[in-house]
Amino acid sequence: MDFAAMQSTLYDHIMEARRREAADLLGEAIAGAGYEATLLSLLEPTLAMLGERWSSNALSLAQGFVAGKVAEDFLAMGAPVPGSPDARETVSREPLAGPARIAVIANAEDDYHAMGRSLVSTFLRLRGWQVEDMGCDVLAGDLVDRAVSVGACVVGISAMMLTTARNVLKVRAEIDARGLAGKLFLAVGGAVFRMRPELVTELGGDGTAETALDAPALFESFRLRSAGTGAASQAESAAP
């Protein structure tokens, strides 16, 4: 299979919002080379090219959105995880060192701008993360409770406005109060953090990513920092 040529075709489909053609191309590749090879040799490299453009502002949100839809279509073509009909197998990757790729994501308390969050969630899933998406307007305590109960090493919060971004401070306080700092990392993102990057540290975030396609790398860096600390089990034992 000529993956290099297919990457460039897929790239063009996404840039020109040809979602159906993109899905057809991925379907053909799966039929010919299998799901995992298609992910690793076709979709991921194409998304990496798109991600570079997005980070340098040469990709629009609409194109990023199409990339997200194509990724969702691809996820839907994967085999269901036994016993969990909504989840899909992505890849049989090498065994992980450190905590599992489990993250909880939500919009901050009072924040209802779902789109950034759902794109982040899609791209994380594609990279093999189990994502617990709690939706909009989530209270700090509930978020950290869930992170602890599923053994997450990262919580991701999305906020579009300053007023709602301020509620990230409550999540920081909750993580610190339970002694989870350094084990459970706090990723933040959304329009207001892009406008005012200094807010990330001011509001207690451990880091941010400019675009949803950059989020998996950020989450992975947190997972590695959390590695060795036994985040999941300690988190559980730290639960009240």
Partner 1 sequence: MERVGAVLGGTAPDRRPFTLTLSLYGSRLLGRSAADCFADPALYAAGQRAVTELCQPDVLFGPFALALEAEAFGSTLERFRDAPPVVRKPALKSTAGIDSLRIPDPATAPGLRFLVDSVAAVVADQGGTRPVAAPLAAPCDLPIMLAGMDGWLETLMFDPALAARWTALAVEHFVALASAYFAAGAAFVVTPVMLVNPSLVNPSLVDRLLLPILREAFSRLPGPVVFHHGGNRIAGILPLVADLPNVAGFVIDERDPFEAARAALGPGPLLLGNLSGPQCALRGAEDQERRVASILSDRKNDPRFIFATSGADVPWETDPRTLERLRRLLEAPS
Q: Which residues bind partner 1 (CB under 8 A)?
A: 15-17, 19, 57, 59-63, 65-66, 69, 110, 112-115, 118, 137, 161-163, 191, 195-196
31: partner contacted, choices partner 1, ligand B12, none (Cβ within 5-8 A by kind): none
Nearer to ligand B12, 29 or 126 (CB): 126
Residue 122 beta carbon to partner 1: minimum distance, rounded to whole angstroms: 11
Nearer to ligand B12, 41 or 221 (CB): 221
Nearer to ligand B12, 6 or 50 (CB): 50
215: partner contacted, choices partner 1, ligand B12, none (Cβ within 5-8 A by kind): ligand B12
CA distances (Å), origin 138, targets 60, 69, 112, 201, 225: 28, 25, 10, 21, 26
Are 134 and 100 within 8 A, CB to CB? Answer: no
Are 186 and 204 within 8 A, CB to CB? Answer: yes
Nearer to ligand B12, 136 or 181 (CB): 136
Nearer to ligand B12, 29 or 192 (CB): 192
114: partner contacted, choices ligand B12, partner 1, none (Cβ within 5-8 A by kind): partner 1
Q: Which residues bind ligand B12 (CB under 6 A)?
A: 61, 64, 113, 115-117, 119-120, 156-158, 160-162, 187-192, 194-195, 208-209, 211-212, 215, 218
Residue 61 beta carbon to partner 1: minimum distance, rounded to whole angstroms: 5
Strands 80-81 and 84-88: antiparallel
Tokens of 189: 């993102």
75: partner contacted, choices partner 1, ligand B12, none (Cβ within 5-8 A by kind): none
187: partner contacted, choices ligand B12, partner 1, none (Cβ within 5-8 A by kind): ligand B12
Comparing C-alpha atoms, which of 153, 172, 161, 164 is closest to residue 234? Answer: 153
DSSP-assigned letter for residue 40: I
Nearer to partner 1, 99 or 156 (CB): 156
- Nearest-5° Cα angle at 52, 91 to 95: 25
Tokens of 193: 């953090």
Residue 120 beta carbon to ligand B12: minimum distance, rounded to whole angstroms: 5
Strands 80-81 and 130-133: unpaired
Number of Cβ within a 10 Å radius of residue 48: 11
DSSP-assigned letter for residue 102: E
Please identify which residue in the block is written with the tokens 């924040």.
111
Distance CA(106)–CA(220), nearest Å, equals: 18
Residue 168 beta carbon to partner 1: minimum distance, rounded to whole angstroms: 16
